[in-house]
Every structure is written in C-alpha cells, then in structure tokens.
Structure 1
C-alpha cells in the first residue's frame, strides 16, 4: 500500500500546499514491504539540499534497513511504546546534529538546520507515498555508540520510514491515537506578535 487508507488531511484555516496538509505521522508501518531504494535516496537527497547557516550542513544520518544489524540496534535503543511499533518500519534513521565542527567551534544553529533537513526528508518521502514518524524517546548513549567516536555528532531524533501498514496491527491504545482527530493550537496562539 503506497498511501494511507485513512483521510488525515489537516483542516487548515487558510489554504496550504496539499503535500503539507496531507503529511502526518502514523505508527502503523507495513512490516513486509522492503524500502523502495529510489524513494529512500530521494528523501535523503532532499535532506541534503536543505538550507543551513553558512552552508555548514550540520546533519548526519545513520540509515538502518529492516533486517539489518543497524536497524535492530536502532530499534533496541528506542524507549517505551516506540518499540511496540517502530520495528515494523522498513527503515530506521538516526538523525545526528553536528553541534561542534571539526575544529571545535560550536555550531549554535545545528539543531535548527537538522530540523530543516528532516522536514525536507519528511515532505519528499510523503510526496513519494511513504510515511514518516519522528521519535524523541530513545537511549542517546546507545545511539552515540552506534554513531562511533565522534562525540560532536549528537543523536537528536529517530525517524521511522516506510509504507503505511495496518492500523489493527498496533496495540489498542495506539490504534486509537492513529485515528484520533488531528489538532493543532490556533494560529493566533502561535504567532505571539504580528505588526
């Protein structure tokens, strides 16, 4: 299945691009379909071309395909209920922020720029019919060990990526969350000052 069977389009107060209104973060992943390598490459390429301060590109990725030792190690580092569903994703990606450059200079913008790269990855993946879910519940030190000795590369999020799966395969509490209405804070509560 290449697109979610659920209608999850956001009800925006003003029109936005369809690709942005339709993007959502499911937990139900197809546990059998391997990743389409061209779509994965396109998502990573979109991340590569994200804007960054002074073109420093302070992001790196560890890409583990289902069935690989890397996928298993990333999955093992997940915490809580993330382990109940994320292992079904065709790919688990660790997004790392380069918080200090090779010369030891702090990169104060690293997290912001990594966020932009992951947003580009997410939108490209969605445009290609894949689904993405980002997680913050993980053992940072375990992922740091996978990343190697470069302590300046900080695991910041784990991304599950693949084809949408069967909602009924999720634990009951997560099934409810999967189909619950999408809500966001009102725009006038988000924009603090507009003159």
Structure 2
C-alpha cells in the first residue's frame, strides 16, 4: 500500500520523513552485515550532549545462535509478528559521562541515534519497528549489560512482507499511521497542552 494514501505533511519536508514507517510484516530474509553496518554508521553520527555518544547497540540476526534467546525477551503479542524479522537490535545508553557525572540526556541521545539508524535502514530498503513490550529485567542479564547502562528499546528489522502473512489481529493495523498537527505539540513562549 502506498504511504501517500495515509500520510500528508502540512509543510514541505523531505519525503524520507513521511515514507519511513514501522510495519510488522516482514519476509524473514537474511539481512546482510553491510546493511546493518550502514545503519550503525548512520547512528554514529547522531548529535549528543557533550558529544558523549552514549548509545550502544547489541544485535542478533535470525540465523545467529543468539536469536532464540533475544527473541524470547519479547512479550507474547510481539512474538506473534516479530518471528519473521531479520534482526533484533537492543538500543542501550550509558547513563554517565566518562568522568562519572550523570548524563541526563542519555535516553534522548540514544533516541537520536535510533532515528538515524531507522532512516538509513529505510534508505537501504529495510524497515524497522521499535518494540517496548519485552522483559527489560531479563534483557540486561541476557545481553551482558553492565551497571550504568540502560536498556532502552528493542528494534525489529526486516524487509517488508505481505500483510496476509501476519496473524489476523495485526492486519488492520498494518498501515502507515498519521501524525498529530504541529499545533498539538509546538508552542511559542510557554507550554500549551495539545
């Protein structure tokens, strides 16, 4: 389904920002290492406070020995559709600066890196979807995350597949979502609830 049927920007922006979306239907095909490396390279260039670059990524490709364990972190509902993803990526962030002081923007900065990753993957013909429904407590131990590093999100990556390959409960949702108008979240001078 063409994205243009579901999304209409109110201002002139690059089509990349409108055309990238987060499907659940994937083909299950193997993702080349070079594609993942391009995504991580794009993430590397994200802005960060004090140039701390607090983001960290741990990935598992569906053909790897770590796949079943990482896939097992997902809640039951997410397992229903993510089983055909080509890779799962954990986004982590270091909560302190190198000098030990708190990094109050670690999550924000990791989010910027995730956006770069998502857009680069899209430009290479791959889609991604952030997953918040997973066992966060188990993720840290499974992935070997040390003290002072937060587990932010998991991301499914894959080539977009056919909607009818999804379980029935997800098929109606498999369309690019719209966005709130700018007036809902932008105000000058003082905060305005939107």
Q: Does the TM-score normalized on the shorter chain lie above 0.5?
A: yes
State the Cα distance separating 1:113 from its structure 2 match.
0.4
Where does residue 16 of structure 2 map in the other structure? 19
Task: Write the mapping of 1:6-45 to structure 2, written as runs, cut at 5 A.
Answer: 6-9=1-4, 10-31=7-28, 33-45=29-41
What is the DSSP-based 3-state SS (H/G/I as helix, E as strand, rest coil) of the residue aligned with 1:129? coil
Seen in structure 2, the aligned counterparts of structure 1 residues 194 and 85 have a Cα distance that, compared at 3 Å, is: same
State the Cα distance separating 1:152 from its structure 2 match.
1.2
Q: Which one of 102, 106, 110 corresponds to residue 106 of structure 1?
A: 102
State the Cα distance separating 1:78 from its structure 2 match.
0.8
Q: Which one of 175, 183, 190 corresponds to residue 188 of structure 1?
A: 183
Most deviating of 169-178 and 8-17: 8-17
What is the DSSP-based 3-state SS (H/G/I as helix, E as strand, rest coil) of the residue aligned with 2:93? strand
- Distance in 2, matches of 1:190 and 1:102, equals 34
Superposition RMSD on alpha carbons, in Å? Answer: 1.7
Aligned residues: 188
Seen in structure 2, the aligned counterparts of structure 1 residues 132 and 66 have a Cα distance that, compared at 3 Å, is: same
CA contact (8 A) 1:131 1:164 kept: yes
1:70 aligns with 2:66: yes
Seen in structure 2, the aligned counterparts of structure 1 residues 67 and 169 have a Cα distance that, compared at 3 Å, is: same
Where does residue 97 of structure 1 map in the other structure? 93
CA contact (8 A) 2:93 2:152 kept: yes
- Distance in 2, matches of 1:157 and 1:149, equals 13
Unaligned runs of 5+ in 2: none
CA contact (8 A) 2:30 2:63 kept: no
Where does residue 57 of structure 1 map in the other structure? 53
Please report the TM-score for the alignment, with normalisation by the length of structure 2: 0.91
Where does residue 165 of structure 1 map in the other structure? 161
Unaligned runs of 5+ in 1: 1-5
1:116 aligns with 2:109: no
- Distance in 1, matches of 2:145 and 2:21, equals 34
